[in-house]
Amino acid sequence: MIEDAPIEKERVKIVLGLGNPGRRYADTRHNVGHMVVDRLAFLKKEEFASGNGPFEYCRIEYDGNEIYLCKSTTYMNNTGKAAAAIKNYFDIAPESIMIISDDSNIPLGKIRFRVSGSDGGHNGLASVTRYLHTDAYPRLRLGVDSNPAGVPLEDYVLEDFDKDEFDVVDKMVAESMRFIENLALGKIENKSITITVL
């Protein structure tokens, strides 16, 4: 189910998946941004190369429309360093960089797209806003549910997904990949979109 409010937006040229580097964090809630770009690169048979800064990137294409997938190689709280380096390396405006992140304020199974907005308490988005000097950049936020009572948020997002959550996570990743394809093909023309995969 998709709910939207139609508003034209700037074309996205970069998709930056947020997460922490290293195998230790690969399957954690904080790393769903990395999961999306990793799986898409794998399916497109592309490999990430080191960028000029704390990020990796690869180029993919849909019917002649190119888009660059990027991964931050900093830890989450310093993601803004990667975003700023990407902006300078590709010489683009912040509104052409779409961030993919987890969001503990959104239920598992929901995805929200916005062209701008607050960081919502997310340290990675806060860092991006600080380094880009604006919050006017698009973001695709994948819901990971709120932290249970008695579990600090900073610990919760660094935990692996539970086994019974894997199916929903896979669906969110797949839906995010379809969203990126539609973005590259110019089919996303809305300011606000909510996608429910359940």
The catalytic residues are: 30
Backbone phi, then psi, for 162, in 5-degree steps?
-70, 155
Backbone phi, then psi, for 60, in 5-degree steps?
-125, 170
- Give CA 138 to chain center in angstroms: 10
Rounded CA separation 51/122 (Å): 25
Paired with 124 in beta bridges are none
Instruction: Output the CA torsion sign for 138, 142, 146, 152.
Output: negative
Angle between helices 79-90 and 123-132 (to 10 degrees): 40
User: At which residue do the structure tokens 């888009």 appear?
Assistant: 67
- Give CA 33 to chain center in angstroms: 4
Burial class of residue 196 (count of CB atoms within 10 Å of its CB; 0-12, 13-18, 19+): middle
Rounded CA separation 134/116 (Å): 9
